[in-house]
Amino acid sequence: METVTVIESLAGLTGFLLHLVAAVVMLVVFTALYLRVTPYPEFALIREGKIAPAISLSGALLGFVIPLASAIISSVSLLDMMIWAVVALVVQILVYLLLKAFLHDLPHDIATDRIAPALLLATLSLAAGILSAACMVF
């Protein structure tokens, strides 16, 4: 029977902390960029109790975090993880822009708390995130 010391168990702590900090930084960067791309103030609308902005933003965040987690698992280095995180970020921004091109009233609909367009955006964001994560094979 092998005995594992606490020091041996914590050997990967530095890598864990580096990846966690990098992931949180990328999440903050993604959120800031996404909020700049969308022409409505998500957090102000959410504070007002509007559901549609919360749904669409939640979908985008999860759609980004899923491939980010895949990048953390599959990457060969911290830089590699960051590169794939940027790819995931671009995919999520494109999902919003493409849907906005098809549904011209999307920003107005979400800002005025229309649930259906927000749910569609959230679902497409999640679908793109899951597909992005699955495509991250290297």
pLDDT classification of 138: cutoffs 50, 70, 90: low
Q: What is the pTM of this model?
A: 0.91
Can you give the residue ranges of every domain in the chain? 6-135
Higher pLDDT, 13 or 119: 119
pLDDT classification of 8: cutoffs 50, 70, 90: confident
Task: Give the pLDDT confidence score for residue 48 in this predicted structure.
Answer: 97
Task: Give the pLDDT confidence score for residue 1 in this predicted structure.
Answer: 60
Supply 47's token pair. Answer: 């504070």
pLDDT of 80-118, one tens digit each?
Answer: 999 999 999 999 999 999 999 999 999 999 999 999 999
Supply 53's token pair. Answer: 């902005």
Q: Does pLDDT of 70 surpass 80? A: yes
Supply 134's token pair. Answer: 């699955």
